[in-house]
Amino acid sequence: GEDVEQSLFLSVREGDSSVINCTYTDSSSTYLYWYKQEPGAGLQLLTYIFSNMDMKQDQRLTVLLNKKDKHLSLRIADTQTGDSAIYFCAEKSPDSNYQLIWGAGTKLIIKP
Residue ranges that bind other proteins, judged by CB under 8 A: 8, 31, 33, 35, 40-45, 48, 88, 92, 96-100, 102-105
Least spacing, CB of residue 45 vs other proteins, in Å:
5
Least spacing, CB of residue 100 vs other proteins, in Å:
7
Burial of residue 58, with CB atoms counted within 10 A of its CB: 0-12 exposed, 13-18 middle, 19 or more buried = exposed
Least spacing, CB of residue 109 vs other proteins, in Å:
15
The smaller minimum CB distance to other proteins, of residues 59 and 97, is found at 97
